[in-house]
Amino acid sequence: MAEIKDTLTNAVKKVKMRNLKVSMSKCSVLSYLAIKGNTRTFVKIAYKCNITMGKDKLKRFEEMKHFPNVYQNLDFKNPGLINHQEQVVDMKGKWKKDHFKNDNPLTLELACGKGEYTLGLAQRHANRNFIGIDIKGARIHKGAKDALKDGLANAAYLRTKIELLDEFFAPNEVQEIWIVFSDPFPKDRHAKHRLTAPNFLELYKKICSEDAIIHVKTDSELLFDYTMGVLDGRGMKYNVVERDIYRKGTAFPELTEIQTFYEKMHIEDGRNINYVQFKLFQ
Ligand SMILES: C[S@@+](CC[C@H](N)C(=O)[O-])C[C@H]1O[C@@H](n2cnc3c(N)ncnc32)[C@H](O)[C@@H]1O
């Protein structure tokens, strides 16, 4: 604890001296220490960091409120969606008709971050609809802004917790799900939070059509092996498995052509990227 405090105190001195921005995670640690340590310095630090982070984020949040391709659920306890006109809208079962104005198949990108797959797939498949979903508005902002700039009418973004998917999608509404570099949650006791855990597969079944395909792409051997184990344990077969796609190649160009923010970092670190595709209903 003392060591962390020293490191953070130094980091904060730098922030104060040079007015540097610090990462959100550092802010969270600082805020935590401010509470735990109960020292004036840490309270000041946390305050300072949050203000520094806040300005830019607030600007993005404000801008995103008016994006016609973004829907936000701002209350997880009483889920509801707000559109770009700040109206409460019910999109469940109506995404294709009310938002996309067509009857094309719908793909979700879960834990989309900056939404590169939603964007990249929407550019490649004009005859499909895509929705990127993430809890973090500041990340979605990037994908949504790029989609608007590119005039991609078949790409939209939804800010919510993935756990609430069945609040916003009706049975059979979704035909495909991409899970790209989702958090591996390495501790066993957190396994239920992995997006390929049985509880999540059951959730996806509530909103997906019988022919729905799930794509999982990850650098995490743990998450990959876990996913294969879940399939095996449920007697489910995979359609495709490709390991180490950047070194061994892939039969699906979009797997290497579309790279996410996290993926680029993993590639730089020389990590293996693995891919598995399976049918949800078997
Ligand atoms: C490791 S990042 C990957 C982001 C992106 N797919 C990429 O490859 O750059 C994981 C993302 O999952 C989101 N996330 C984690 N748990 C979530 C949840 N329960 N509901 C919605 N989003 C979640 C985080 O906000 C974060 O953006």
Q: 52 pLDDT exceeds 80?
A: no
Q: Residue 161's domain spans which residues?
A: 65-279
Domain final residue pick, 34, 57, 80: 57
Q: Are residues 40 and 73 in the same domain?
A: no
User: Separation of 161 CA from ligand 1 center, angstroms?
Assistant: 10
Same domain, 18 and 122: no
Ligand 1: atom nearest CA of 180 is 6
Same domain, 34 and 119: no
Looking at residue 58, what is its pLDDT?
84
Residues 14 and 117 in one domain: no
Q: Which residues pair with 159 in a beta bridge?
A: 72, 134
Position in ligand 1 atom list of the atom nearest CA 139: 27
Specify whether the backbone of 86 is left (phi greater than 0), alpha (psi in -120 to 50) or beta: left
Domain boundary among 57, 76, 93: 57
CA 200 to ligand 1 center in whole angstroms: 14
- Ligand 1 atom closest to Cα of residue 261: 9
Do residues 144 and 221 both lie within one domain?
Answer: yes
Q: State the pTM of this model.
A: 0.84
The secondary structure of residue 23, as a DSSP letter, is -
Mean pLDDT computed over every residue of the chain: 88
Does the pLDDT of residue 104 top 80, yes or no?
A: yes
| 96 and 42 part of one domain | no
Question: Does ligand 1 come within 6 angstroms of the Cβ of 112?
Answer: yes
Q: For residue 179, what pLDDT is reported?
A: 98
Among 90, 183, 232, 244, the one annotated catalytic: 183
User: What pLDDT was estimated at residue 57?
Assistant: 83
Clarify whether residues 35 and 149 are in a common domain: no
Q: Which residue has the higher pLDDT, 65 or 55?
A: 65
Q: What is the pLDDT of residues 22-48, one digit of tens each?
A: 444 454 555 444 444 444 555 455 555
Q: Report helix, strand or coil for 177.
A: strand
> pLDDT confidence of 12, banded at 50, 70, 90?
low
pLDDT in tens, 221-261: 999 999 999 999 999 999 999 999 999 999 999 999 999 99
Average pLDDT over residues 39-63: 64
- Percent of the chain residues past pLDDT 90, beyond the cut: 77
Q: Are residues 93 and 232 in the same domain?
A: yes
Q: How confident is the model at residue 172 (pLDDT cuts 50, 70, 90)?
A: very high
Quick one: average pLDDT of 80-85? 96
Ligand 1 contact via 135 beta carbon (within 6 Å): yes
What confidence tier does 206 reach under pLDDT thresholds 50, 70, 90?
Answer: very high
Best residue for ligand 1 mutational test, from 28, 74, 108, 112 (most atoms within 8 Å of Cβ)? 112
CATH number at residue 184: 3.40.50.150
For residue 8, the model assigns a pLDDT of 55
- How far does the centroid of ligand 1 lie from the alpha carbon of residue 63, in Å? 21
In ligand 1, the atom with minimum distance to the C-alpha of 136 is 25
Active site residue 90: no
CB of 113 within 6 A of ligand 1: the answer is yes
Asked if residue 268 and residue 225 are part of one domain, the reply reads yes
Same domain membership, residue 76 and residue 52: no
Structure tokens that stand for 238 in this block: 């995979």
Domains identified in the chain, total number:
2
Ligand 1 pocket member 164 (CB < 6 A): no
In terms of domains, do 8 and 38 share one? Answer: yes
pLDDT at 29: 52
In this structure, the answer to whether residues 105 and 145 fall within a common structural domain is yes
DSSP output for 191-253:
GGGSTTSHHHHHHHHHHEEEEEEEEEEES-HHHHHHHHHHHHHTTPPEEEEESSHHHH--S-H
Q: Ligand 1 in contact with 195 (CB < 6 A)?
A: no
Q: How far, in Å, is the centroid of ligand 1 from the Cα of 182?
A: 6
Element (H, E) at 54: helix 40-64
